[in-house]
A and B are shown apart, each in its own frame.
Chain A
């Protein structure tokens, strides 16, 4: 199998990443991040490429990769919406938000819309956005106080192809609360 395109494309970046650490093996997670940024998920060939770059076996890379919930080993939508399912969000209507998103998108948690645009996830981690509960992330960009109405607006922006960072700039959580 030939190496995935990112290996050649980011040749210098890969060397720079490895040079950041006293030991090469520490570059494993940064390289998985790099692979996932390119593809949106991590394919078998990415695992192989990381193993080859670091001189580790595929099973080592796979075993590390599988430990972390943000490394996706299956294709994801262009936008991944992750709703926080932890305590403060749960007590603030996170399940109602999930119900609404499922209805609105016509998919269940864990699924991707047929057009490949949106994947809906619920996370067991607390995403540290409890001051904006219920909260979610769009491609790891934060949105807070997500009422069904705000969720609809977020989805409209996604359908227009808006940048997740710009969505967060509008729907994010301000650091200081108005009195």
Chain B
């Protein structure tokens, strides 16, 4: 039997934005169940038992994160991270635009479990349609008594505030998000203190990704045992893989964690374009080191991908075939990180800009062996030296292609183009 999706079930067939359609599919039943039969601790425990690992990139268990909140009388806040800006990642956008009530229900349950005073959705500015969809869905949920004071006649009250970003990748980093939500520049802050201890307005705060929160209603409704029966032992549940690049059918595919890369690409994403061969795959966003054709049979779960030398990250899977110049791919990312560095830390601000400059001259056939040496040594200056992880993340993919595709870099350095079509996208 084909695997039945959970989070994306009905998308493309039903208008789940309409609250009545969502309810007809069992929507808001988990909220009812929690408020009638479960204490906040029960909900928290169920999520902990389910080992729901964060879907925003790091895979940290949500139940454990919620447990870090100190109980000291300060108000607590819940922030849903809907800044989704990781290159190659577009599953949060789909959930928001086509299943917004699932997210709202997930937020309500997480707020109930963590005893949050108020919840926020930080949605990137580019998601205008997503913002409007959420505003509409939230109004419906309020009208039905799912959001607001004394929800469904219980003691539990919750407001959800939707906050629009305005174009800045770094606001996806949780402390950058908080700075932005407080009305500032989206500059990350030094951790510790972690948001759980000192987050929004200096109060205990949970930040969770959209997809993480969308799993919560199902865990509450069907139980942790059910959740643990999907996926692998250490990476339970499903994951929405965003597949793009050189495949026939790019798109979002919700599959059990642990599905092989081969099955994802060949059975779901339609395989490679006609006549092409596979060169490399990035399994989880801009910072994920490349996987090679020899890795096609690895299971896509947090630990297996790490064991293969990469990270599952956001599960934004980008496929490169034999038409793709790997020097060019590194340059795209270098330009991206240089553009997105918030500029607070010198190694990041200068490092990302110089990386892009050096890669550009290599790509144009004007680089030297020494340039390659400099690129290989970036870890010493750019890793572990900055406020947030953007600096570290900006070089991990580069290091992997320098290693696995050294011949292509050498070809560029020695004045020969790699012969592959590769044009730069100019911005003004």
Contact = CB atoms under 8 A, between A and B. Distances in A.
> Real complex partners, A and B?
yes
Interface of A: 20-23, 25-30, 32-33, 54, 63-64, 67-71, 83, 85-91, 94-96, 98, 108-111, 121-133, 137, 139-142, 165, 168, 174-177, 179
Contacts of B339: 124-125
B329 A128 contact: no
Nearest to A132: B250
Contacts of A83: 425
Contacts of A27: 183
Contacts of A133: 244, 250
A98 B425 contact: yes
B98 A175 contact: yes
B332 A87 contact: yes
B246 interface: yes
Given A91-B246, A175-B94, A126 B336 contact: yes
B250 A131 contact: yes
B40 to A, nearest CB: 21
18 contacts: A28-B184, A33-B164, A67-B168, A68-B125, A68-B165, A85-B425, A87-B333, A88-B88, A98-B425, A124-B427, A126-B87, A127-B126, A131-B90, A131-B243, A132-B250, A140-B125, A142-B129, A179-B270
Given A29-B163, A91-B324, A128 B182 contact: no
A19 B345 CA distance: 35
B37 to A, nearest CB: 31
Interface residues of B, number: 70
B88 A71 contact: no
Interface in B406-427: 423-427
B333 A70 contact: no
Interface of B: 11-12, 75, 84-90, 92-94, 97-98, 118, 124-129, 159, 161, 163-169, 180-187, 201, 242-246, 249-252, 270, 286, 316, 318, 320, 324, 328-329, 332-333, 335-336, 339-340, 342, 423-428
Contacts of B324: 91
Contacts of A29: 163-166, 180, 183
Contact of B251 (A91, A109, A176): A176
B51 to A, nearest CB: 27
A29 B163 CA distance: 8
Contacts of B164: 29-30, 33
Contacts of B428: 108-111, 121-122
Contact of A122 (B185, B250, B426): B426
A68 B97 CA distance: 23
A63, A111, A126 — which one has the most chain B CB atoms within 10 A of its CB? A126
Contacts of A32: 166
Contact of A176 (B11, B250, B316, B426): B11
A124 B94 CA distance: 21
A20, A64, A175 — which one has the most chain B CB atoms within 10 A of its CB? A175
Nearest to B333: A87
B180 A88 contact: no
A68 B167 contact: yes
A167 to B, nearest CB: 12
Nearest to B245: A88
Nearest to A82: B126
Q: Considering the complex of A and B, which 8 residue pairs feature the smallest CB-CB distances, nearest first?
A: A110-B428, A176-B12, A130-B244, A68-B166, A70-B167, A85-B425, A69-B167, A25-B183
B165 A20 contact: no
A23 B182 contact: yes
B125, B243, B270 — which one has the most chain A CB atoms within 10 A of its CB? B125
A106 to B, nearest CB: 16
